[in-house]
Structure 1
Amino acid sequence: MKPIWIVDDDQSIRFVLEKALAREELPTRSFTHPQEVLSALDEAGDGEGEGPQILVSDIRMPGGSGLDLLEQVKKRLPGLPVIIMTAFSDLDSAVSAFQGGAFEYLPKPFDLPKAVELIRRAVDESQREEVSEERMVAAPEMLGQAPAMQDVFRAIGRLSQSNVTVLITGESGSGKELVARALHKHSPRANGPFVAINTAAIPKDLLESELFGHERGAFTGAQTMRRGRFEQAEGGTLFLDEIGDMPFDLQTRLLRVLSDGHFYRVGGHSAVKAHVRVIAATHQNLEQRVKEGSFREDLFHRLNVIRLRLPALRERREDVPVLTRYFLQQSATQLGVEPKRISDAALQVLGTFEFPGNVRQLENICHWLTVMAPAQVIDTKDLPPEVLGGNAPVSMPSLEFVSEPPQGVIGLPVGEMPHAWPASQGEPAASGGDWEADLQVEAQRLLAEGRTDVWDVLTRRFETRLIQTALASTRGRRIEAAHKLGIGRNTITRKIQELHLEE
């Protein structure tokens, strides 16, 4: 059989693969840089040498790029299986490799038996359809060396030329919207718009209009015609986040759009054609919600054409170091300061943390460290209490070293921490630190007045002050405030809207 060509500037990699493949009785031929490969292909084309059975190439070498080599090889031998290997495990490499026509993507360091098994599969591979290569941006969209993330990268690569509906599942904070954006960016609809909507963050009575738009006069306040998210995403991708929380009656309308390809604006009588790819995401178990009767089974099957599960950060702990360094660099850039470094000991502690908030929580921790860590090198003692204390809540102090503390987004000055139960309008707050006793006094007063809305009144005041205080301590950053309160980002967004805190 023809030899397996190996191109890598690292002699140890070439040696290991040569010996492993020799044990499998697979002939090899090795090269140190892409130009040697192209010269050998020229010789083979002239009948002066033997061509490759498959090509195994590094992606970054002093003598040239493995992706450029892949492009050149595919022009000459479209059916040749090519395996791209690299120590730089990012999404751009994976998608570029697949879009260039690679057979598979092999991150370093690799398990040798699995690498040999992959090469054996490539040997048996029939000709693959050639796909066009798309120019990648310099910065990676997503990072991950863990096998679970490599599976995600491969799936995005394989879906890059498809318009199929995708359902992304995974815990909150695991990066589902990043995956949706990557699917859009590396799809035939990349030149169209990417429109995202969180179905859990919009009140039920407004969601229909948000999705499908409305005609003038459709309801009180509808003074002009408004295009919904489906029309805004025309020719592109519509990302429906938290689809499991969509009201049941709207599920029926969504199913009709997916089935028929058209919809009606609220109050409209003319069908509007929808040329939109739908990507949905949820942190919930949709199969269970179907059994409970809260999610339509037919809609579930419409959405669940391709399911892409995003792993929780605790399932990919080996990615914590690279993500931490990336977020520290990103935070420094945003703040205009010198990037901080993190010690191996601190990274080891971070690697044992469970990260209930997943990648989003790690990003918030890195923002906090950029501002709050006293030295340029972050040590274990500098990590926030939530990490050092296991599941203990993080206590992120407000940034009172600013000469003139700005107002919070809801008007509460940074650092103002109410110590007593909020009194009703016109009433002074009870003094002292026993807020539960103050709550009891306030409840007794309202009950004595004969009111029948005590629960709603006190709950509203409690939630208002709690959210105001949390947002003040985070300088208006809602995601961080939600994390510190122990609630989801969708919950805090909904509460801010319900309590009219943005007014």
Structure 2
Amino acid sequence: MKPIWIVDDDQSIRFVLEKALLRENLPTRSFTNPRDVLNALNAANDDNGPQVLVSDIRMPGGSGLELLEKVKEKYPGLPVIIMTAYSDLDSAVSAFQGGAFEYLPKPFDLPKAVELIRRAVEESQREEVAEERMAETPEMLGQAPAMQDVFRAIGRLSQSNVTVMITGESGSGKELVARALHKHSTRANGPFVAINTAAIPKDLLESELFGHERGAFTGAQTMRRGRFEQADGGTLFLDEIGDMPFDLQTRLLRVLSDGHFYRVGGHSAVKTNVRVIAATHQNLEQRVKEGAFREDLFHRLNVIRLRLPALRERKEDVPMLTRHFLQQSALQLGVEPKRISDAALTWLGNFSFPGNVRQLENICHWLTVMAPAQVIEPKDLPPEVGVIAGDSVALPTPATPATPALQESSPASVAAIVAQADAPTAAPVSPISGGGWELGLEADAMALLATDRHDVWDELTRRFESRLILAALAATRGRRIEAAQKLGIGRNTITRKIQELGLE
């Protein structure tokens, strides 16, 4: 990871932050004035530049605000944290207008400062991953006629600022289309900001969209820019717009009408120049009839409607997408890409994919970690896709892929799963159903207990933890902090386990 750059003329501040960050395995590089920082930036490249910049606001030889402005010219996506005394609060608020990530008041609480910097690191890493994907990965794949229609529509809309409504089932790739519309538009050099309106609690959504002033509500200790301000000059993608609370729809309609809005607790109108792209999996006409969605907002958003086909409507794209996702998954995990047999592709082609392209991508991540051989055969596919039952395919009700038996090649484990799937009233294998991987675990335990070994607990625990951690890393594209959060363990715990289990 690239270092955290600390800029402060106070040696004690630099020393305290350096030691605290090094304890968190975060490398640092310190400077005493903005001039040295700018010289270092000019000599840096994408590999040895800063991950996060933490700067004092007042230093001999330059201002932190001036440094912020110049840094943003070279690294517009770099999170910058401004340190300031309380008397400098007005200047710190001004820093947000220049794109500061957050401000850190002096004297600061060290654990809170470290947590703030870690949040900035995570934000920086997310931005890097998003940029890499946009630069290196084909935006969208598809040879099916339905997808070619989508590509043609993106081309026609590329030079327009018209509002677009993207409809389609969950997981069909609506955000990819929104990103493609942005990338090929005249706003491509501006920011692309996405927000899922269904994923944010109603009480927080207004602040997320429009920002808030300091003291607007309990806990609002600083002024915060909302997504509309962040997307100024670029594109704002409002996902799952059909779930937006009714009272917020009125505020959204006003922004779309004249480009002005007020931050929560604010008294001055803020002007923004944003192209809005909305998406939903719901029937908005029906929502309007039910009184859950404003008709005037519907017509304002529904200028151009672009429908994305479900994956079951473009089955001819499944082989291409599968090979692509297997390549991507292997690249993210640093392993050799797995190949997939024609028979396994046929099995996938017979699946309805209720989760669409997102579900296929998750299956490919699962296979990269779980499939025992380098060539994926039908028997390696997760239970949700179906297993061999004589000469036919038994497709269970779609469910989340169950964890396989702990030992990849254990005959007892495989037999247990196949036996359950072949049963006349077979139900999807569930981690809490008492079948599937638990039967495999029991079989493995019985086999080991029948030997002279005295480390059965340690052996099975090691296998279980290895599989669980690898699955979490596959699900999060190798991001350890996010994997630890999903598993409900600490980041230090997952790092230690990875080392102990030899998963590096």
Q: Tell me which interval the TM-score lies in, with the shorter structure as reference length.
A: 0.5 to 0.7
Give the whole-Å Cα distance in 1 for the aligned partners of 2:475 and 2:299: 34
1:384·1:394 contact (CA, 8 Å) conserved in 2? no
Matched length: 289
- 2:318 matched residue in structure 1: 320
Q: Are 2:348 and 1:342 equivalent residues in the alignment?
A: no
CA distance in 2 between counterparts of 1:325 and 1:331 reads 10
1:200 is matched with which residue? 198
Distance (whole Å) between structure 1 residues aligned to residue 216 and residue 351 of structure 2: 51
Q: What residue number does 1:459 align with?
A: none
* Structure 1 residue matching 2:385: 3-state secondary structure: helix
SS at match of 1:475: helix
Given the alignment of the two structures, is residue 239 of structure 1 paired with residue 237 of structure 2, yes or no?
Answer: yes
Quote the offset at 1:396 in angstroms.
Answer: 3.0
- Do structure 1's residue 363 and structure 2's residue 354 form an aligned pair? no
Within 5 Å, give how 1:55-74 maps onto structure 2: none
Q: Which runs of 4+ in 1 moved over 6 A?
A: 417-420, 476-480, 500-503
> Equivalent residues in 2 for 1:151-162 (5 A)?
151-162=149-160
Alpha-carbon RMSD across the aligned residues, in angstroms, is: 3.0
For residue 249 of structure 1, what is the aligned residue in structure 2?
A: 247
C-alpha distance 340-279 of structure 1, shift in aligned 2 (>3 A): same
Does the 8 Å CA contact 2:365/2:475 hold for their aligned counterparts?
no
- The residue correspondences of 1:139-158 to structure 2 (distance < 5 A) are 139-158=137-156
215, 218, 223: which one aligns with 1:220:
218
1:39-54 paired onto structure 2 within 5 Å = none
Q: Which residue of 1 aligns with 2:428?
A: none
Shift of 1:137: 5.5
What do the CA deviations read for 1:360-419 (whole angstroms, capped 9, x no partner)?
A: 0000111111111122111111111111141343543279679xxxxxxxxxxxxxx889
Q: 1:364 to 1:347 in 2, by over 3 A?
A: same
Identity, % of aligned positions: 81
**Which SS does the other structure have where 2:195 is aligned?**
strand
Q: What is the distance in 2 between the residues matched to 1:475 and 1:235?
A: 37
1:273 aligns with 2:271: yes
C-alpha distance in 2 between matches for 1:252 and 1:212: 13
Q: Is the 8 A contact 1:396 1:473 kept in 2?
A: no
Aligned pair partner of 1:282 in 280, 283, 290: 280
CA distance in 2, matches of 1:399, 1:227: 48
| CA shift in 2, pair 1:336/1:275, >3 Å | same
Cα distance change, pair 142–267 in 1 and its aligned pair in 2 (3 A): same
Distance of 1:280 and 1:501 partners within structure 2: 36
Distance 1:246 1:479 in 2: 27
Larger Rg: 1
Q: Is the contact made by 2:369 and 2:474 (CA closer than 8 Å) also made in structure 1?
A: no
Aligned to 2:95: none
Deviation track 1:309-359 (CA, whole Å, cap 9, x = no partner) reads: 010000000000000010011111111111111111111111110000000
Deviation at 1:285, TM superposition (A): 0.5
Q: Does 1:396 align with 2:402?
A: yes
* Cα 1:137–1:209 shift into 2, 3 Å: closer
Q: Structure 1 residues 476 and 366, CA, compared in 2 at 3 Å: closer, same or farther?
A: closer
Question: In 1, are the aligned partners of 2:196 and 2:238 still within 8 Å (CA)?
Answer: yes
Change (3 A) 1:394 1:296: closer
Distance in 1, matches of 2:293 and 2:476, equals 27
CA distance, structure 1, for counterparts of residue 490 and residue 206 of structure 2? 22
Tell me the residue number matched to 1:311: 309
Q: Which has the higher helix share?
A: 2
Determine the C-alpha separation between the residues in 1 that align with 2:364 and 2:320.
12
Q: Secondary structure at the match of 1:387?
A: coil
In structure 2, relative to structure 1, the CA distance for the partners of 1:368 and 1:478 (3 Å cut) is closer
Is residue 173–residue 357 contact of structure 1 (8 Å, CA) maintained in 2?
Answer: yes
| Structure 1 pair 401–237 and aligned structure 2 pair: CA distance change class (3 A) | farther
Deviation at 1:307, TM superposition (A): 0.5
SS of the equivalent of 1:330 reads: helix
- The letter of the residue matching 2:344 is A
How far apart, CA to CA, are the structure 2 residues paired with 1:315 and 1:181? 22
CA change 1:418–1:292 in 2 (3 A) is closer
Q: Which amino acid aligns with 1:281?
A: A
Determine the C-alpha separation between the residues in 2 that align with 1:254 and 1:383.
45
Alpha carbons of structure 1 residues 288 and 330: separation in structure 2 relative to 1, 3 Å: same
Q: Which residue identity lines up with residue 306 of structure 2 in the other structure? A: L
- Distance apart, 1:479 and its partner CA: 8.5
Aligned twin of 2:329: 331
Instruction: Tell me which amino acid in the other structure corresponds to 1:211.
Output: L
**How far apart, in 2, do the equivalents of 1:333 and 1:224 lie?**
40
Q: Deviations over 1:29-66 (max 9, x none)?
A: xxxxxxxxxxxxxxxxxxxxxxxxxxxxxxxxxxxxxx
Equivalent residue number for residue 475 of structure 1: 472
> Partners of 1:242 and 1:399 in 2: how far apart?
37
Q: 1:320, 1:350 within 8 Å by CA — same for their partners in 2? A: yes
CA deviation string 1:155-206 (max 9, x = no partner): 1111111111000000000010111111101100000000011101111011
Which of 256, 259, 265 in structure 2 is aligned with 1:258?
A: 256
Give me the whole-angstrom Cα distance separating, in 2, the residues matched to 1:270 and 1:199.
25
User: What amino acid is aligned across from residue 200 of structure 1 in structure 2?
Assistant: A
- Give the TM-score, by structure 1 length: 0.54
Distance between the aligned counterparts of 1:213 and 1:379, measured in 2?
A: 51
Q: Is the 8 A contact 2:241 2:279 kept in 1?
A: yes
For residue 300 of structure 1, give the secondary structure of its aligned residue in structure 2: helix
CA distance in 1, matches of 2:280, 2:236: 14
Which amino acid counterpart does residue 264 of structure 1 have in structure 2? Answer: Y
1:475 Cα deviation after fit: 2.2
Contact 1:165 1:304 in 2 (8 A): yes
- 1:470-495: CA deviation from partner (whole Å, max 9, x where unpaired): x9895277799xxxxxxxxxxxx9xx
Task: Kindly provide the amino acid, as one letter, of the partner of residue 396 in structure 1.
Answer: A
Counterpart secondary structure, 1:280: strand
SS at match of 1:308: strand
Normalising by structure 2, we get a TM-score of: 0.53
Structure 1 unaligned runs (5+)?
A: 1-135, 403-416, 421-470, 481-492
- Write the distance in 2 (CA, Å) between the matches of 1:225 and 1:380: 55
